[in-house]
Structure 1
Amino acid sequence: MAGLLQTNVSLKNISVEQYELHSSCQMSPSVQHQNVLIPTIYSIICILGVLGNGLVVFVLSHSSSRKTVANTYILNLALSDLLFVLSLPFWAVYYSFDYDWIFGKLMCKLCGGLLTLNLYASIFFITCMSIDRYMAIVHPLKAQRCRNVCRARVVSFIVWFAAGLASVPTLIFRDTLAIGDVNACVIQFLSPSWFVGFALMKNILGFLLPFAIITSCYCSIGKHLLTAPGLDKSTSNLDKVLKMVGAVVLAFFFCWFPFHMLTFLDVLVSLKVLQLCSVSNIISLGMPFTICLGFSNSAINPFLYCFVGNHFREQLGGLTQTLSLGSSQKRGSFSTRLSSFTRKLSDLRDLSPLENEAV
């Protein structure tokens, strides 16, 4: 069955016409044991994503110091990633059943909508955090006037609304479709032009524009830290900030660039700019794995933005101390183990004295 559906019709926004176009080529055999490998990867991402993002949401929701601009964006980012990774078990079962969707039309739309919602919301919140860090470090005086929690909440609402609006086509057009002897969960656009427009919107709004903003912000931060007067350029704190800057940009790029590159190639195939079956084979074989790579960003985000951050560790430590005092008689309790984990995290050096609330 994996040979029948060479392209991941569940997760790739593909029209019926687009599926027929790929099917006209003599497709290369699918990766061996793909129906085992992909669900395994999804399961790992789901477990790490639920643990990481769940802990972030728990800590920031109960911490007395949660009302900061940075924490507002981090909390919303974690909520977006958590909602999405909770849908991964459905996609894992879908792969293991060789693209046979057994959960019905409503769950097909809902899981597809969560996928698209997270694709936009996650990247938009990362972009907001990048701009916030840029303002806090490069323009601290101006940031004191314009950075406040109320404004961050308004921006967060706008991000959720924009991401939800971008997910509407998925909710409308995604449906179950009988292909061969399976019921696939696909997007059935009215014409190939709808697919082209939807794919280009993902490329531009979901990658190119946010990546340009993120890169510009962190390049400016790095330049400021290297050239600002009064900063010791040899300090380990500065070195760690620069490494963090590089990690943020590289993680974003390497997680999402392969997926968006194959999506753009698929657009070229749809427009018949590329009519090589070899390109269609590359798209069909590579798309499931580039999707896995993109999804892994939801598991990486909490570790990248929170657990390496000094202020989040302080909030986690304060919260676990409170929990430990409330249940001191239970030495083997979850709070005790969490406190031990916090102490290990606290052994890491501070990220930066310059970001008073950025992480």
Structure 2
Amino acid sequence: MNNSTGYWGNCSEEHLFDTSDFRYTLFPVIYSFLFIVGLPINIAALVFLVRNKATKRLTEVKIYMISLTVADLMFIAFLPFWIDYYNRGGDWKFHSFMCSLCGSLFYINTYNTVFFLALISFTRYLAVYRPVKAARSRRILRGFISTAVIWLATICFSLPTLINSQRHVVRADDGMLRCFESYKQPSTKTELLVMHLLILLGFLASFGVVIANSALILRRLSVDQQLLRISQGRLQKRAFRMVLLVLTIYLFCFLPHHLVQLPWLLLVLNFWKSTDCAFRRIVNDVHQVTLCLMCINCVLDPILYCFLTVNFREYVKGLTQSCRSKCTLSSSPKPQVIQL
């Protein structure tokens, strides 16, 4: 007797993707870490980019970095709702609109990051291949137009989710209200498949841009290795490190999720009618882990600014020293006053 067939009653469409119970422990830990660490460093990055005197000059890449930071902060600010949800074992206690809003911000942050990193990669390519022209031209208008297009596209793509908010909060058999964990509505299956295919194509396009720009930048830098050693090659040094970090963010945070997303979606929507319960559960487990990996980008993005903005490291170092000195002063014992 086939083992998977014997267990088929316990892994039907209705219950199969209620597995992966480890997510109710993993997600609160990861999200709490991202909230505690990501909120202050992204606020510090935004303050630096907007108010620091050393970087008052507006440039194309600075516009992208500000937009990237705002997207990260919007996602991080709503993480307490997800922390509460997973701490309750997957029971949504807030209004259905908040479920849709939190889910929308997750995708807005993810794909804003994906597209802005691709644009930053492109600007570094121009800086390496056309350094004189890039230095003379700020390309601010192109930066504003590109930023507006990306924000408009991601927000418009999320509008159906926000409008149909009640669709995404469904009461499970155990009485709990699931947020973005139910795919039972037949009318939404084709819509979900088309939407996620478009998302996948957008990711592949941006990833292709990053791979192409990275290859061209590395090729240019390898032509003359002295560019990485002379003082005039500081731009090339930052470009080289930026290439490595952007590739790391893509490969570590985004690529695993997009590799498993389509097989997972085909299984969960039952377009792929596999009766191998173990396989389906493994795919679901991997999908949950890749969702966590994708969220980590919000604390990795500020590291990118260290390589793109010369004074950011000094700014962070100054903040750290200031905080340490304040903590030292507050913890030191106050001198006793002796009254005569």
Give the TM bin, normalised by the shorter chain. 0.7 to 0.9
Structure-2 separation of matches of 1:247 and 1:60: 20
Structure-2 separation of matches of 1:227 and 1:315: 31
CA contact (8 A) 2:242 2:308 kept: no
> Radius of gyration: which is bigger?
2
Matches within 5 A, 1:66-77: 66=56, 67-77=58-68
CA contact (8 A) 1:110 1:171 kept: yes
Structure-2 separation of matches of 1:184 and 1:73: 35
Match 1:178 to one of 164, 171, 175: 171
Residue 197 of structure 1 aligns with an amino acid whose one-letter code is: V
Q: Is 1:219 equivalent to 2:212 in the alignment?
A: no
Q: Is 1:82 equivalent to 2:80 in the alignment?
A: no
Q: Is 1:306 equivalent to 2:311 in the alignment?
A: no
Q: State the Cα distance separating 1:169 from its structure 2 match.
A: 2.9
> Secondary structure at 1:272's aligned position in 2?
coil
Matches within 5 A, 1:1-359: 22-23=13-14, 30-32=20-22, 34-64=23-53, 65-66=55-56, 67-143=58-134, 147-174=138-165, 175-180=168-173, 181-186=175-180, 190-205=187-202, 207-228=203-224, 231=227, 241-269=239-267, 270=269, 272-273=271-272, 275=274, 276-303=276-303, 305-309=304-308, 311-313=310-312, 316=315, 332-333=325-326
Q: TM-score of the superposition, structure 2-length normalised?
A: 0.78
CA contact (8 A) 1:46 1:299 kept: no
> Secondary structure at 2:86's aligned position in 1?
helix
CA contact (8 A) 2:238 2:308 kept: no
Q: State the Cα distance separating 1:147 from its structure 2 match.
A: 3.9
Q: Structure 2 vs 1, CA of residues 219 and 22 (structure 1 numbering), >3 Å: closer, same or farther?
A: farther
* CA shift digits 1:256-312 (9 cap, x unpaired): 122112211123324634513333212322222211100001111101x11345514
CA contact (8 A) 1:69 1:149 kept: yes
* CA shift digits 1:210-235 (9 cap, x unpaired): 11101111111110111159736799
Structure-2 separation of matches of 1:273 and 1:35: 27
> Secondary structure at 1:191's aligned position in 2?
helix
Structure-1 separation of matches of 2:159 and 2:307: 35
Q: State the Cα distance separating 1:28 from its structure 2 match.
A: 9.5
Q: Percent identity?
A: 25
Q: State the Cα distance separating 1:243 from its structure 2 match.
A: 4.5
> Secondary structure at 1:75's aligned position in 2?
helix
* CA shift digits 1:140-180 (9 cap, x unpaired): 34435764223312221111111112212322344321112
Q: Structure 2 vs 1, CA of residues 62 and 272 (structure 1 numbering), >3 Å: closer, same or farther?
A: same
Structure 1 gap ranges (5+): 1-19, 325-329, 337-359
Aligned-residue Cα RMSD (Å) equals 3.4
Structure-1 separation of matches of 2:169 and 2:272: 29
CA contact (8 A) 1:63 1:319 kept: no
Residue 278 of structure 2 aligns with an amino acid whose one-letter code is: S
Q: TM-score of the superposition, structure 1-length normalised?
A: 0.75
Q: Structure 2 vs 1, CA of residues 106 and 127 (structure 1 numbering), >3 Å: closer, same or farther?
A: same
> Secondary structure at 1:177's aligned position in 2?
strand
